[in-house]
């Protein structure tokens, strides 16, 4: 099992505060000691940091926590290995290019069968069930959606929902996925989210004694959604997702919901 | 124009010393101020750091310089922009997955025509001539070499040489390229290399007043080749490559030479 953290925002926003909470769970307050990764979209490209070391002791995690990279879409993951050894190639998030966009993916859960998930377009580099599912999902999108429909959200969301439902039949499949414009969030068992808008308040992390006053670090027009396996803060109300629910975020707001 | 740095070694080796020399050229002792990147193969995966900021002032470049990541194949690049704006998506090295391997690429030079370089398998994310050439090269490999011949070095080297010769007709095309096992080095105008083996001596960087005694940081069986646009040290003899020459390195040694 693993922990997921995602962000969608309408302006480039730093995720340091939420990431501080997540990396504590990587071996300190949680059992997720088998690596961590974070990917920030920046323009059309993706900035990735991944490390098979526990996030709690990783020098690179500290660098990322203290280096305020601003992004509109972030996908992060800390890992407790089940399928696949502790190695960089098995560390989420995974990314591939399709139609000149970078697609990024992280998974929480475990699939009980996955050897038959194959694509002629994308192949896993590592040995996880997760990367195999990602290659199969992205290959399905390429097969079913021509490049000329790449920017159309409705058929894309339907294909993703259909693939995720099939993956959920094989085990636990909570997922964050992005095409560099939208953040797709699929819940199999457990995911929560919160959208912060003006007037912003203060929030205190569950895992560390840190409080942030978002009013000080935002402007009145900012819309920022954070998605996590479990709520990261203790004085805010988070939404729990339903099993089988797909949410599509763009610019910090829900733009589609498929159940 | 840009500066390239590559390494091939038979044991995981840190490149901090050579990278120190390269990043000084990124805005301090050279004009290459439009970003930098470095990719380290680690097992089957790739660890990448890229930044559109000048390497000389980049916090991330300092982190990488001081963080001894060990790798058998490294590709690095500092950029002076010609085609494509200063942005993360235009920052080398570029990477794609093919047949479950990560392929990585960096280019020094400029192509005068490149719009017709297209592949149905890989598309550029940014707007550089370099990424377009990379997608065309890798797409050609996929078209001409089936996955069952992916590990065969002779047909692969011939396809790469043929594509590079055609790219050289369009401008300047010095290249570092890897399939995660070999390092392919193609010279269009300017590239030098040196192989260090036991007995190791001392080397002093051209660009900084730093000397390393390799005897202290190696074992007698280590074989380490460094490739750079221009020699990085002032008290060693580097080999100059010939225009049109392709060298293939594996485990630090030349295994093929095509001219």
ipTM: 0.90
Q: Where are the alpha helices (DSSP H) in A91-168?
A: 129-144, 153-168
pLDDT, position A197: 87
Q: What is the signed CA dihedral for B124, B130, B132, B135, rounded to 10 degrees?
A: -80
CA pair distance B259, B239, nearest whole angstrom: 15
pLDDT, position A242: 97
Asked if residue A256 has pLDDT above 90, the reply is yes
Task: Give me the sign of the Cα torsion angle A24, A26, A28, A32.
Answer: positive
Per the model's pLDDT, the better-predicted residue between B83 and A3 turns out to be: A3
Per the model's pLDDT, the better-predicted residue between B24 and B67 turns out to be: B67
Å between B42 CA and nearest CA of chain A: 7
Domains of chain A, earliest start first: 2-258 (3.60.20.10)
Give residue-wise pLDDT tens across range B188-247. 999 999 998 888 878 877 766 667 777 777 788 999 999 999 888 888 889 999 999 999
pLDDT, position A139: 97
Å between B112 CA and nearest CA of chain A: 22
* pLDDT tier at B17, thresholds 50, 70, 90: low
Q: A210 — contact with chain B (CB < 8 Å)?
A: no
Give residue-wise pLDDT tens across range A92-145. 999 999 999 999 999 999 999 999 999 999 999 999 999 999 999 999 999 999
Q: For residue B82, what are the CA distances in angstroms to A70, A186, A250, B112?
A: 26, 42, 33, 11
Q: A254 — contact with chain B (CB < 8 Å)?
A: no
For the sheet containing A2-14, what is the strand order? A45-51, A36-42, A70-79, A2-14, A224-228, A192-196, A239-240
Point out the residues of B that are catalytic.
Answer: 2
Asked if residue A19 has pLDDT above 70, the reply is yes
Query: How many contacts, defined by CB atoms under 8 Å, are there between A and B?
Result: 66
* pLDDT tier at A71, thresholds 50, 70, 90: very high
Residues of chain B with Cβ-Cβ distance to A87 below 8 Å are 43-45
pTM for the whole structure: 0.92
Asked if residue A4 has pLDDT above 70, the reply is yes
* pLDDT tier at B186, thresholds 50, 70, 90: very high
pLDDT, position A101: 95
Residues of chain A with Cβ-Cβ distance to B101 below 8 Å are 125
CA pair distance A37, B14, nearest whole angstrom: 22
Return mean pLDDT, chain B.
88
Rounded mean pLDDT, B102-116: 96
Residues of chain B with Cβ-Cβ distance to A125 below 8 Å are 44-45, 97, 100-102
Asked if residue B78 has pLDDT above 90, the reply is no
pLDDT, position A1: 38
pLDDT, position B1: 38
What percentage of residues in chain B have a pLDDT greater than 70? 91
CB contact under 8 A, B88 and A48: no
CB contact under 8 A, A67 and B59: yes
Å between B91 CA and nearest CA of chain A: 9
Q: What is the Cβ-side half-sphere exposure of residue B59, based on CA atoms within 13 angstroms?
A: 7
What is the tally of helices (H) and strands (E) in chain B?
Answer: 5, 15
Residues of chain B numbered 59-88 and touching chain A (CB < 8 Å):
59-60, 63, 67, 87-88
Q: A89 — contact with chain B (CB < 8 Å)?
A: yes
pLDDT, position B35: 82
pLDDT, position B112: 94
The residue of chain B nearest to residue A50, with distances taken between CA atoms, is: B47
Per the model's pLDDT, the better-predicted residue between B190 and A200 turns out to be: B190
Return mean pLDDT, chain A.
88
The residue of chain A nearest to residue B48, with distances taken between CA atoms, is: A48
pLDDT, position B207: 67
CB contact under 8 A, A125 and B101: yes
Q: B102 — contact with chain A (CB < 8 Å)?
A: yes
Per the model's pLDDT, the better-predicted residue between B180 and A54 turns out to be: B180
Å between B259 CA and nearest CA of chain A: 32
CB contact under 8 A, A67 and B48: no
Mapped onto helix, strand or coil, the DSSP state of residue A161 is helix
Q: A50 — contact with chain B (CB < 8 Å)?
A: yes
Task: Give me the sign of the Cα torsion angle B164, B165, B167, B172.
Answer: positive
């Amino acid at each position: 099992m693993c922990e997921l953290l995602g962000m969608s925002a309408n302006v480039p926003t730093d995720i340091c505060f939420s990431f501080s909470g997540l990396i504590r769970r990587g071996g300190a307050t949680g059992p997720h000691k088998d690596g961590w990764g974070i990917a920030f979209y920046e323009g059309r490209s993706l900035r990735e940091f991944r490390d098979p070391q526990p996030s709690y002791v990783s020098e690179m995690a500290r660098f990322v926590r203290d280096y305020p990279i601003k992004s509109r879409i972030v996908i992060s993951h800390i890992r407790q290995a089940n399928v696949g050894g502790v190695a960089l190639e098995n560390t989420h998030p995974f990314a591939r290019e399709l139609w000149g966009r970078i697609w990024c993916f992280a998974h929480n859960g475990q699939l009980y069968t996955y050897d038959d998930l194959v694509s002629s377009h994308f192949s896993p580099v590592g040995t996880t069930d997760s990367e195999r599912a990602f290659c199969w999902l992205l290959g399905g999108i390429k097969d079913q959606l021509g490049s000329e429909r790449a920017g159309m959200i409705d058929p894309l969301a339907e294909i993703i929902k259909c693939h995720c439902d099939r993956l959920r039949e094989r085990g636990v499949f909570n997922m964050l996925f992005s095409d560099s414009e939208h953040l797709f969030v699929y819940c199999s068992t457990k995911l929560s989210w919160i959208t912060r808008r003006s007037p912003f308040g203060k929030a205190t992390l569950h895992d560390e004694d840190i409080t942030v006053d978002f009013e000080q670090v935002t402007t009145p027009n900012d819309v920022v959604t954070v998605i996590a396996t479990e709520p990261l803060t203790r004085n805010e109300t988070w939404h729990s997702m339903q099993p089988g629910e797909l949410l599509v975020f763009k610019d910090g707001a829900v733009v589609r919901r498929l159940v």
